[in-house]
Amino acid sequence: MLFDTIRAIRWENDHLYLLDQRRLPQERHTLECTQVTQVAEAITQMVVRGAPAIGITAAYGVVIAARMRYAQAGKPWKTAIAQDIDLLARTRPTAVNLFWALEHMRELIAHLPEDQDPVAALLHLARQLHSDDITANQHMGRLGAELITAGAIILTHCNTGSLATGGFGTALGVIRQAYADHKIAKLFADETRPWLQGSRLTAWELVQDNIPVTLIAEGAAAFLMQQQQVQWVIVGADRITANGDVANKIGTYGLAVLARQHGVKFMVVAPTSTLDMSLPEGAAIPIETRGESELLQLGPQRLAPAGVAAWNPVFDVTPAGLIDAIVTERGVVTQPDRQKLLAMMQNSVN
């Protein structure tokens, strides 16, 4: 039993359906997308979030755009769809899976005849990317769980499960597998401010799958480690650079520093589509900054006094030197560096 029942992205009856993660856990609402602008808005407004899920959603967005553009008489659909792909590419700058998925769609479009209806071929590819992500996550789950010894206490950050991927999850996939293997004594999830992905999403997802979890405030993580209550911190990634630096949800870097101080192992779990070998190091990663309102208010309720400014970076960068293992569907890299990551990528191709 793999404790995996949630699917946030569905393609049914030629429409894209997204579980609206802004409304969880109070309401389980599905958004139907029939226009590419709706898909772009859903990504921007975090109806869907998590790097793999963003890429898969964007791929389905290209399918929706292709259907619309091919139906427009008298206009070459390839020229028209380029602007739709550009629209999707502008939605979230940090998650490299977005650009990876769109590039796959672009490559296929380049090989399709202008006079051929492209929808079936593009839909087949989008579905393949979706299916491949789930398969990769399940394999990463097995690889990561092998690193964990029985009786482990684990802390995770943000949401890296089925809500953030095509299904099963990255870091949460390892946790799912380790729980199924009876290796987890206790699981902690931090709240993950300001969007509270830990308390709203990770906790909800784990409750749905009957995996016990205990929430903590971010500020409690240091004390928890000092009390020797954590053996592993397990997180996902939105982009990994060639030297092994990792961009992930804001707060990840702080956890990595705390883990190193307290002798706690730190694991990053992400598909190789998250690995950006074109960037030499984490300093080159574009870091998205979102609106002040996410910090200054909670929903419609303002928390901070008028006149207060806020800085709201969505991601931070954890140096490779603080990471004990990067787990991908192509293998595990311990104490990651440029040479090890390059060797993994080359070996997987050969």
Residue 115 is predicted with a pLDDT of 85
Domain boundary at 74, 100, 135, which? 135
Q: Which two tokens stand for residue 349?
A: 């191709």
Task: Tell me the CATH number at 64.
Answer: 1.20.120.420
Q: Is residue 120 one of the residues assigned to a domain?
A: yes
What pLDDT, in 10s, does the model give residues 230-245? 999 999 999 999 999 9
Residue for token digits 């380029």?
A: 82
Residue 348 is predicted with a pLDDT of 58
Query: What Rg, from alpha-carbon coordinates, does the chain have?
Result: 20
Residue 349 is predicted with a pLDDT of 46
Residue for token digits 């969880």?
A: 24
Same domain, 179 and 228: yes
Q: How many domains does the chain have?
A: 2
Q: Is residue 2 one of the residues assigned to a domain?
A: no
Domain boundary at 90, 106, 135, which? 135
Residue 350 is predicted with a pLDDT of 37
CA–CA distance, 134 with 128 (Å, rounded to integer): 10
Same domain, 57 and 129: yes
Q: Which helix (H) or strand (E) holds 326?
A: strand 325-328
Same domain, 179 and 239: yes
- Whether the CB-CB separation of 157 and 190 falls below 8 Å is answered with yes
Residue 154 is predicted with a pLDDT of 98
Q: Is residue 4 one of the residues assigned to a domain?
A: no
- Neighbour count for residue 229 (Cβ, 10 Å): 16
Q: Is residue 289 one of the residues assigned to a domain?
A: yes
CA–CA distance, 145 with 20 (Å, rounded to integer): 30
Same domain, 290 and 161: yes
With a cut of 70, list the residues of the chain below it in pLDDT: 1-2, 73-75, 348-350
CA–CA distance, 341 with 345 (Å, rounded to integer): 6
Q: Is residue 230 one of the residues assigned to a domain?
A: yes
Q: Which residues are catalytic?
A: 238
- Whether the CB-CB separation of 279 and 247 falls below 8 Å is answered with no
Same domain, 89 and 222: no
Same domain, 49 and 190: no
Same domain, 158 and 289: yes
Task: Tell me the CATH number at 275.
Answer: 3.40.50.10470
Q: Taking each helix axis as running N to C, give the angle between helix 77-89 and helix 96-111, from 0 to 180 degrees, rounded to the nearest 10.
A: 170
Same domain, 209 and 344: yes
Same domain, 118 and 233: no
Q: Which two tokens stand for residue 225?
A: 């480690």
Domain boundary at 119, 135, 151, which? 135
The residue range of the domain holding 326 is 141-349
Cβ neighbourhood burial of 83 (10 Å; 0-12, 13-18, 19+): exposed
Q: Which two tokens stand for residue 119?
A: 């929808």
CA–CA distance, 163 with 224 (Å, rounded to integer): 27
Residue 93 is predicted with a pLDDT of 83
Same domain, 70 and 121: yes
Same domain, 344 and 296: yes
Phi, psi of 297 (to 5 degrees): -145, 160
Same domain, 210 and 280: yes
What pLDDT, in 10s, does the model give residues 116-137? 899 999 999 999 999 999 999 9
